Structure 1
Amino acid sequence: MDFHIKYITPDIKLSTYDDKLFKTETVFEYHMLVWFISGETKIIQADRSYTFQAGDIFLIPRNHLATIINYPKDGLPHKAVVMHLTTERLKKFYSNIDTEPKNLRKKTGIHIFNNHPLLESCMASLIPYFDMKEPFPEHIASLKIMEAISIIREIDKNTDAVLADFEEPGKIDLISFMEKNYMFNMPLERFGYLTGRSLSTFNRDFRKAFQRTPQRWLTKKRLELAYYQLTEKNKKPTDVFMEVGFEDLSHFSYAFKKQYGYAPSGVR
């Protein structure tokens, strides 16, 4: 795996990946603004999926589960500039702004800015700083991030409903959340956090709701989704196993055969 990250500050980085693919399943602590330079990324969320290529700019909201698959493309590495929009910085930004985010339409998915020239210029202006040997001044980094936030708000005022929402996840209905997000291969601690529970409370509530352990229920649901993708969508096992929450093809094939009696490659 050839994966490199350069930081000019803890909140601004340049990531480069040059291999067959790189997959991760995560929930981001902070909002992430991404400018794609080369390569391709597929982002899978509970109710939709996205494919991004060179030139695309998008905002991934915090506390949303996602499977992310990065690919090099056309002989070029997967390369992107990323800004972390931290809660602390956003609180400072919005402290002098009169906004009512609860009255705005809150978009729960990824915000796409379609190669907007002002935003692209802002992100591209960071490239020379990654070659600097001396430390990047924090006050300049802060100005760059504030500039990006200001441009985002000009492009879409409804982003205030996301950026100015500082609430942490509260206790929510466990059944509806898990039925929507079971395909994400996350630690149980993260599922607990996103449903407003400690790990022990999550396990207790889960057993009460589903009458089985989280691990057994998750495996069964993921295999059922895989079976549907293979039989109804005519997808290949190599295209399915990552999307339904398995780490590798061999583990997926073993679990699938154990449940259905034949390997996923035998599905017709």
Structure 2
Amino acid sequence: MEYQAKYITDDIKLSCYEDKFFKSDIMFDHHMLVWFISGETKIVQADATYYFKKGDIFLIPRNQLATIINYPKDGQPHKTVVMHLSTEKLRDFYAELNTKPKAIESHKIHSYSNHPLLESCLASLLPYFTMETLPEDIASLKIKEAISILRTIDKKIDDVLTNFEEPGKIDLAGYMEKNFMFNLPLEKFGYLTGRSLTTFKRDFSKVFHTTPQRWLTQKRLELAHYQFIEKKKKPIDVCYEVGFENLSHFSHAFKKQFGYSPTELTKRQNA
């Protein structure tokens, strides 16, 4: 994979993928504001799938699970400017305001198309990625500018950005049934359900009477089989959407479980 990233600070980067595609399963520790310069992205969450392309601008709320697949488009690489709106930066910003928003937990991705104010703010960052010496506090100023613009164009965004709570202990069975297709370390699943790794494994065993690894593999293969039968999807698409990292491993596990490979099943479907 030919990947390049340039940083102004840890919170602002220019990201570029040259490959055919790049897939990752991610939990977002911070709100992320993204501006597309070129390429396409498919973002799969538990209850929604999003597609973004050149010119699009969107905000992904923190502590959300997603499968992200990045593609080049029209001979251009997948290239984005990404700004992290960290809890620390947001606390500092809102401490200066006399506002009392109602903090809510937001799962949806907020899309702002190619809004001219946001695009101008994010495009103005491009020259800084080529500079060795940056103006003092430029990153902090740009983050404040971006937050101010978001608050101007989206009157409900305060309710999202002021949610500083960490995940509390929640129903394990319900959460895992909804999010099993995301291939994350067990520590992350523990965090998102309000548990340490040890407590997560213990509670998981009590609920499901098996190990997390075995249960996750079983659920992902069952979902894959459903996608082939009911949705008529291709093996390469199903593989990544249900939580496997490569097609070879997926095909081997699928055949071991069902007695036939994904290719054999799709050929049977198309016969």
TM-score (norm 1): 0.96
- CA change 1:39–1:192 in 2 (3 A) is same
The share of aligned pairs that are identical, in percent, is 68
**Shift in Å at residue 14 of structure 1?**
0.4
Letter in 2 for 1:6: K
The answer to whether structure 1 residue 56 and structure 2 residue 56 are counterparts is yes
**Shift in Å at residue 48 of structure 1?**
0.5
> In the aligned structure 2, how far is the partner of 1:64 from the partner of 1:203?
21
Contact 1:106 1:159 (C-alpha < 8 Å) held by counterparts: no
Runs of 4+ in 1 over 2 A off after TM superposition: 96-102, 104-107
Please say which of residues 67-76 and 104-113 is displaced more in the overlay: 104-113
| Structure-2 residue corresponding to 1:146 | 144
SS in 1 for 2:137: helix
Residue 197 of structure 1: which of 177, 191, 195 is its match?
195
The answer to whether structure 1 residue 242 and structure 2 residue 240 are counterparts is yes
Report how many residues are paired: 266
**Shift in Å at residue 72 of structure 1?**
0.7
* 1:163-214: CA deviation from partner (whole Å, max 9, x where unpaired): 1010001100001100110000000000000000000100000010111111
The answer to whether structure 1 residue 130 and structure 2 residue 129 are counterparts is yes
Task: Note the 1:65-144 alignment, pairs <5 A.
Answer: 65-102=65-102, 107-134=106-133, 136-144=134-142
- CA change 1:107–1:62 in 2 (3 A) is closer
* 1:53-74: CA deviation from partner (whole Å, max 9, x where unpaired): 0000001111100111111110
* 1:196-251: CA deviation from partner (whole Å, max 9, x where unpaired): 00001000000101111111110111011100110000011111100000011111
The answer to whether structure 1 residue 5 and structure 2 residue 5 are counterparts is yes
**Shift in Å at residue 138 of structure 1?**
4.1
Contact 2:104 2:163 (C-alpha < 8 Å) held by counterparts: no
**Shift in Å at residue 106 of structure 1?**
5.4
Letter in 2 for 1:73: K
SS in 2 for 1:183: coil
The answer to whether structure 1 residue 17 and structure 2 residue 20 are counterparts is no
Contact 2:61 2:106 (C-alpha < 8 Å) held by counterparts: no
* 1:141-180: CA deviation from partner (whole Å, max 9, x where unpaired): 1111101001011111211111101000110000110011
**Shift in Å at residue 105 of structure 1?**
6.7
Contact 2:41 2:71 (C-alpha < 8 Å) held by counterparts: yes
Task: Note the 1:206-225 alignment, pairs <5 A.
Answer: 206-225=204-223
Contact 1:106 1:158 (C-alpha < 8 Å) held by counterparts: no
| Structure-1 residue corresponding to 2:227 | 229
The answer to whether structure 1 residue 45 and structure 2 residue 45 are counterparts is yes
Letter in 1 for 2:110: H
Contact 2:170 2:194 (C-alpha < 8 Å) held by counterparts: yes
SS in 1 for 2:240: coil
SS in 2 for 1:41: strand
Gaps of 5+ in 1: none
**Shift in Å at residue 107 of structure 1?**
3.8
| Structure-2 residue corresponding to 1:259 | 257
Contact 1:9 1:138 (C-alpha < 8 Å) held by counterparts: no
> In the aligned structure 1, how far is the partner of 2:245 from the partner of 2:49?
19
